[in-house]
Structure 1
Amino acid sequence: MDKDKQANNAWRILFLLFLANLFNFFDRTIPAVLTEPIRKEFGLSDTELGLLAGGFTVVYALAGIPLGRLADRASRKSIMGWGLAAWSLLTGASGAAWNYTSFFFVRLAVGVGEASYAPAASAMIGDLFPANKRSRAIGIFMLGLPIGLVLAFFTIGAMAKAFGSWRAPFFVAMVPGLVLAVFMFFIREPARGAAETQQVTEQKIDRPLRKILSIRTMWAIIVAGITLNLASYAANAFLVPLVQRYFQLPLASAGMATGVIVGISGLVGLTLGALIADKLHQINERARLIYGALSMFGAAALVWFALRTGAEEFTAFVALFALGWLLQYNFYNCAYPAIQDIVEPRLRATAMAVFFAVLYVLGGSAGPLITGAWSDHAAKAAMAAAGATQMTDHFRGIGLHEAMVVVPIALLVTGVALLFASRTFSADAAAMRNGRQA
């Protein structure tokens, strides 16, 4: 790939996209940090908490399909700018909710706003950077995920304590998003296909969804994405309450511990992992997906052992879970660039929207719901086994600790799916480069 295939303003635009991605994940993480005060004020079960997270994810996924298709046809910077403004305003509105129902529907609306962003941004990155630099570019973009989580888990609890209300963080989070939205409209967009070796025509594509789903590797990556999201959304939704209930830490401390597990780990996983993935891709183009698969197997084992620790072994729990989560981040370094490599430029935003829709509906929404329902059932069983007649946070902690086994099981399946993707990747990537996709 020639050096001039990279856009001159690629790194400046990527930094802006990274900042917006950071606020995307920061805003959506606020309810996860404040799970316990919200549960107690509205009198909720873990199943209802899981439904709240799952409902957001389903709306996010379904809204992404038409918005992703629009991003393949219209101005991507406008879609991202208006979407960022909308979800920031709605994040502020979340703090004004007066009951569970109002909070639920405002969060659904936030999901619509956030759905506008990822497909358009991912497609733009594919046009800014050539194939041999996409893991690094995607890795930097996806740093918004762990850094957003770190900021959320480290600051939201302290913010709520300082203001004396769980509602205050929603109002505070609204402001920087609105400021950043203004800058989105000044992006100088690259042409579609600008970083490719083959020329991209403007001819209309018939049956775009059928063309995307005719790519064999896409199916395996979709399955991997479903199970990866099942694991990550279950962890993000319930790690703070798990630490509060099972390990008996207060909200602020539980938030910071969770920030180390799911946030700090990502800073290493997405930077070092992306460099390794690009180097492996230059040696053998299948190696990137194989590396991703091996990372998932390692992550599954480490998280499993973390969940085998006792309530008095909190340090070991954090260390093992964080190491596992560090490896988990390699999914983004390996799967996301692979999609850019097998789908032609005119369909990349649509492909990412379809990818997000399926994995969020079947994985992201299911993870919190399955974990929450399992937690309620296991808590009742623990209460019955103890001969108690009243549900307490102690029994809820035991139930949630048992239910979190969903996470390593899902990570294991993710690794298997990435191995299958590696088997067909070379042929599908060559077909894209040569314009031979069906």
Structure 2
Amino acid sequence: MAALDIPDAQLPVHHPSSMPNTRAWVALGVLCFVYVLNFLDRQLLAILAKPIQDTLHLSDSQLGLIGGLYFALFYCFISIPIGWLADKTHRVGVLSLACAIWSAATMACGIATSYAQFAAARMTVGFGEAGGVPPSYAIISDYFPPSRRGTALGMYNLGPPIGAALGIAFGASIAAAFSWRYAFLILGGVGLLTAAAFTFIVREPPRGGLDHAVAKPAGSIVAATAGFLETLKMFFSRPVLLLASFGSGATQVITYGMGNFTTLFLMREKGMTLHQVALYYALVVAIGMGGGIFLSGRLVDRFTRRSKAAYGLLPAASLALAMPLYLGFVWAPGWSLSLLFLLGPMSLNYFYLTSSVTLVQQEVRPEQRVMSGALLLLIMNFIGLGLGPTYVGAASDYFRANHPTHSLQMALYTLVPFYILAIVLFLCLARVLRREGLTNKNGGTTP
């Protein structure tokens, strides 16, 4: 691909017969489990927002800052040097250490007695989780051939719905039976045990082993490592990568803004109890988000064989379908109808994830994958994770003066324009991809 600045003779040659072996599937399963813990620990604040708010006397704005901007500052920017380090060293080792850090910090949340202590612990969770996802994307891409990467990454991205569902089920149940503090302590302890066992189960795969043909022109050399500035310049010079990142960021304003306050919204304004949240909301997340992410991986592999424009068209179409159902979720007068509407957005809101991740992994050289994945996460999470919860929390406090019993409902309504923005950005991505495809077909070079 000319966009990668690789001579035509050195272009990757895909091997249709390359099938993932047992080791690849075991590695994928373990990486998915680590991602489950990653997302579970991250979502405990949102799941247990009501009892935490009551104990530590936090406002909606403070909850939004802890789950949004404060967390994102560490999670997003630390991921870049960690991604660069993982590209040059042992990715499995980096991931294991990161899991140990975020799990220990999760346990620290359970013993916090003030806003400052809790905020500091959550920032440390963000620091650890910054080293979780980018190395995993690259490891999976080196275990699975290009023709299977969409499905593999789609299965890996089941980590968030499984983690969120388990967090809702177990976190809410533990909090209802004992205390919200026990949920942080127990689940953080599971993460520490997993970190200790991880390096014994998952092996480091060869970088780019499934991308390049064995035969290369005499004297040709493909760099084994990519410089930090080289990868940075490459990423920000590619309209395709930037549009995927900003489209994903706009979508995450919705997913994180809604997700960090859904439990509080359902309990405070729809009348749900912790026991009902642990059962019914957990099922909605597991079925909706899990089904959507799994289906998106299969659709990405299927439709991008025909046209790369599908990387943009699939998330654009899914968000257009999700928007009216999201409005129904916010409007519904009772929690049961609200959850029924929520099934749609929970499924359709997450098509962007597998699409954007797969596109970035396909568009860059193997030695640039971890850092490129980290740059994707930096942009989309700093926008979505940093802005979404922070904005919704501040909006809720703003609306409380005139809508004291429905301030969160009013705040959630204001997320609708971000649907429109994300759809436009993904349609622009599809247009650029289609143009690049036509240019390549006519023998030209991509910009």
Q: TM-score if structure 1 supplies the norm length?
A: 0.90
Q: Secondary structure at the match of 2:169?
A: helix
CA displacement at 1:427 relative to structure 2 = 6.5
Q: Secondary structure at the match of 1:113?
A: helix
Q: Deviations for 1:207-244, whole angstroms, at most 9, x for unmatched residues?
A: 22011111110111111121121111111210011011
After superposition, the Cα gap between the structure-2 partners of 1:204 and 1:120, relative to the gap in structure 1 and judged at 3 Å, is closer
Residue number in structure 2 paired with 1:48: 62
Residue number in structure 2 paired with 1:269: 292
Q: Deviations for 1:381-411, whole angstroms, at most 9, x for unmatched residues?
A: 12xxxxxxxxxxxx2x400011012443323
Q: Secondary structure at the match of 2:318?
A: helix
Q: Deviations for 1:186-209, whole angstroms, at most 9, x for unmatched residues?
A: 322221112214575326445220
2:393 is aligned with 1:403:
no
2:28 is aligned with 1:14:
yes
Q: Deviations for 1:23-73, whole angstroms, at most 9, x for unmatched residues?
A: 001111111111111111222111111111121122111111110111111
After superposition, the Cα gap between the structure-2 partners of 1:120 and 1:203, relative to the gap in structure 1 and judged at 3 Å, is closer
Letter in 2 for 1:202: A
CA displacement at 1:299 relative to structure 2 = 1.3
Letter in 2 for 1:381: N
CA displacement at 1:140 relative to structure 2 = 0.6
Residue number in structure 2 paired with 1:28: 42
Residue number in structure 1 paired with 2:5: none
Match of 2:378 among 353, 357, 371: 357
2:77 is aligned with 1:62:
yes
2:208 is aligned with 1:193:
yes
Match of 1:379 among 391, 396, 400: 400
2:125 is aligned with 1:110:
yes
- Partners of 2:51 and 2:337 lie apart in 1 by 27
- Partners of 1:134 and 1:380 lie apart in 2 by 50
2:52 is aligned with 1:38:
yes
Aligned-CA RMSD value: 2.1
CA displacement at 1:6 relative to structure 2 = 4.7
Residue number in structure 2 paired with 1:170: 184
2:66 is aligned with 1:74:
no
Q: Deviations for 1:239-264, whole angstroms, at most 9, x for unmatched residues?
A: 01101111112123234443234332
Match of 1:181 among 195, 198, 204: 195
Letter in 1 for 2:382: V
Pairing of 1:32-431 with structure 2 (within 5 A) = 32-54=46-68, 55-163=70-178, 165-186=179-200, 187-197=202-212, 200-202=222-224, 204-205=226-227, 207-310=230-333, 312=334, 314-382=335-403, 395=404, 397-425=405-433
CA contact (8 A) 1:239 1:258 kept: no
- Partners of 1:230 and 1:76 lie apart in 2 by 29
- Partners of 2:91 and 2:17 lie apart in 1 by 22
CA contact (8 A) 1:305 1:320 kept: yes
Residue number in structure 2 paired with 1:385: none
CA displacement at 1:5 relative to structure 2 = 4.0
Q: Deviations for 1:344-386, whole angstroms, at most 9, x for unmatched residues?
A: 211111111111112222221111111111111111112xxxx
- Partners of 1:294 and 1:27 lie apart in 2 by 31
- Partners of 1:242 and 1:105 lie apart in 2 by 25
After superposition, the Cα gap between the structure-2 partners of 1:208 and 1:182, relative to the gap in structure 1 and judged at 3 Å, is same
- Partners of 2:206 and 2:433 lie apart in 1 by 26
- Partners of 1:70 and 1:203 lie apart in 2 by 11
CA contact (8 A) 2:165 2:285 kept: yes
- Partners of 1:365 and 1:255 lie apart in 2 by 27
- Partners of 1:168 and 1:231 lie apart in 2 by 30
CA contact (8 A) 1:82 1:181 kept: yes
Unaligned runs of 5+ in 1: 383-394
CA displacement at 1:276 relative to structure 2 = 2.0
